[in-house]
Structure 1
Amino acid sequence: MRALWSTGFVIAALCVSRLTAASDIKPYLASALADPARAADTKDDARRKPGPMLAFSGVKPGDKIVDLIPGGGYFTRILSKAVGDKGHVFVVWPNEYAKESHPDPENSKKLAATPGYGNITVLEQPAAAFSTPEPVDMVLTVQNYHDYPDVFMGKVDPVAFDRAVFESLKPGGIFLVVDHVAAAGSGLRDTDTLHRVDPAIVKKELAEAGFEFVGESDALRNPADDHTKKVFDPAIRGHTDQFIYKFQRPK
């Protein structure tokens, strides 16, 4: 039994690696990554791994995507070019988060008004009232899932939030959650202090909301991170251990 388990574990690990391999980056995504307009962002590509991450997500031309709490627009720019003229990117700023993030919300609006990025719409809404104007193919949140239960966001019930995301997706739609790993068994304990979340509680909450867990990528894993430091600590900032989980609304 031990040998069989070990073999299965190795196969699973190889599958995860395959999903994050450079060979999985389709031409349209490679073109989006090479967009000259994002030249200033490319210095961060080696550590943020946008190619493997978005290849794993399955984003494709024509998709309608939500970039939830987009920060400086790093992924917004890539997604806009990846989905193309027939696709759309809805940038969602929860009002509570936007108050803490100036000038990022204003910069999202400037990007949407920039020639070549006309497929971007910026939405501002209460954190507890996530919604989209139409059903979408994917919702992406990078390093912000852990914020929802915190005081500054109004202590949003994560499962209620997950259900709202579920309702926004088309059948078969994807919720891609990327966040900083907290210690195993810690649940939501460290969300407002270390800005981390236990991957196990994320899986549990998403399952309660009706999602199916369909895979993970190890592109951002870092075994050197012991999960005890605040993510802004200079010793680990920019190199935290992060999970990339892919959830699906059943078809």
Structure 2
Amino acid sequence: MRTKHWLAAFAGVVSAIAYAGAVQAEDLKSVIDGKQRTEAYAARDRYRHPEETLKFLGIKPDMTVVEITPGGGWYTEILAPYLKEGGRLYAAHFPAQSESNYYRRSLKAFKEKMAADEDSYSEVVLTEFNPRAGVEIAPQGSADAVVTFRNVHNWMRQEGDVDKAFASFYKALKPGGILGVVEHRAKPGTSQEGMIESGYVTQDYVIKLAQKAGFELEATSEVNANPQDTADHPRGVWTLPPSLRLKDQDKAKYLAIGESDRMTLRFRKPEN
């Protein structure tokens, strides 16, 4: 009888764990489907696959996560409410004292967005992404995950910036922490100049950058792949939606292609 009781209790624990996992998965989907999402942002889910991407990167609601240069807050709209109760989100945005008008306007709009919806963003910790100045994106060794979406190409114009960026990610992470990278994917063999000008970056280059900083490549995913994207457009990646830099010129063609082909990579900071 004791054995039966023990087995019944064990089965109950297993069921409870399974149920908790199911609730967690549903919670992420409910956040993605939530009213806090900007309608125009949610319309891009078919290209950006937020649920599949965050699951692949291993993001859980009890984690401390750093989002690098969140811009208008596309992923922040999901990460902030998802992490609010059990985790923490650091939004490492553009420097407040930047000489760039675009950076200052973007940061101002992001602050206004957070202030307008305290239910979603009250627990977000706003920090600065400025690796050239040695500014911390989060306290050293505090983060379970650092995530960056379509940003690597922006750090390649100034020599050394991209290495400093990856070094700052490594510094912020706990041993065993995750680095998640989503980036526009260039064809293998694309030159450095070609990557800078087009906004597309080779997957091998990103992997080497992360490994140089000390990370280990753990897994890759094709969840954000787009085989229709040839990555050789007149205005680079900005030819495609949502930018559509050519405006009405060949617009139907580029809308049919959709958003860019993207790599999705998960790295790990070694335990020791």
Q: Into which bin does the TM-score normalised by the smaller protein fall?
A: 0.7 to 0.9
Greater Rg over alpha carbons, structure: 2
Report if aligned partners of 1:150, 1:191 keep a CA contact under 8 Å in 2: no
Q: How does 1:149-228 map to 2 (within 5 A)?
A: 149-151=156-158, 155-186=159-190, 188-228=192-232
TM-score after normalising by structure 2: 0.75
TM-superposed CA distance for 1:133, in Å, is 3.4
Paired residues, what number? Answer: 225
Mapped to 2, the partners of 1:176 and 1:90 lie a distance apart of 15
Deviations 1:125-159 (A, max 9, x none): 424235233211111111111111214xxx34423
Mapped to 2, the partners of 1:130 and 1:228 lie a distance apart of 36
Q: Give the 3-state SS of the residue equivalent to 1:190 in structure 2.
A: helix
TM-superposed CA distance for 1:225, in Å, is 1.5
Q: Give the 3-state SS of the residue equivalent to 1:122 in structure 2.
A: strand
Read off the aligned partner of 1:82 and give its amino acid letter: Y
Report if aligned partners of 1:146, 1:197 keep a CA contact under 8 Å in 2: yes
Query: Which stretch of structure 1 is more off in the superposition, 228-237 or 73-82?
Result: 228-237
Q: Structure 1 218/67 Cα, relative in aligned 2: closer, same or farther at 3 Å?
A: same
Question: In the alignment, which residue of structure 2 is the partner of 1:37?
Answer: 36
Question: In the alignment, which residue of structure 1 is the partner of 2:137?
Answer: 132
Mapped to 2, the partners of 1:63 and 1:187 lie a distance apart of 37
Question: In the alignment, which residue of structure 2 is the partner of 1:145?
Answer: 152
Mapped to 2, the partners of 1:133 and 1:51 lie a distance apart of 25
Question: In the alignment, which residue of structure 1 is the partner of 2:118?
Answer: 115
Q: Give the 3-state SS of the residue equivalent to 1:232 in structure 2.
A: helix
Q: Give the 3-state SS of the residue equivalent to 1:192 in structure 2.
A: helix
TM-superposed CA distance for 1:97, in Å, is 9.1
Task: Mark the runs of 5 or more structure 2 residues left unpaired by the alignment.
Answer: 1-21, 245-252
Question: In the alignment, which residue of structure 2 is the partner of 1:56?
Answer: 56
Mapped to 1, the partners of 2:148 and 2:99 lie a distance apart of 13
Read off the aligned partner of 2:145 and give its amino acid letter: M
Task: Mark the runs of 5 or more structure 1 residues left unpaired by the alignment.
Answer: 1-22
Q: Give the 3-state SS of the residue equivalent to 1:158 in structure 2.
A: helix
Question: In the alignment, which residue of structure 2 is the partner of 1:17?
Answer: none
TM-superposed CA distance for 1:112, in Å, is 3.1
Q: Structure 1 56/130 Cα, relative in aligned 2: closer, same or farther at 3 Å?
A: farther
Structure with greater helix percent: 2
TM-superposed CA distance for 1:170, in Å, is 0.8
Question: In the alignment, which residue of structure 2 is the partner of 1:10?
Answer: none
TM-superposed CA distance for 1:39, in Å, is 4.8
Mapped to 1, the partners of 2:146 and 2:127 lie a distance apart of 14
Matched, 1:28 2:27: yes
Read off the aligned partner of 1:115 and give its amino acid letter: E
Q: Give the 3-state SS of the residue equivalent to 1:228 in structure 2.
A: coil
Deviations 1:41-75 (A, max 9, x none): 32111121111111111111121111111121010
TM-superposed CA distance for 1:100, in Å, is 2.4
Q: Give the 3-state SS of the residue equivalent to 1:213 in structure 2.
A: strand
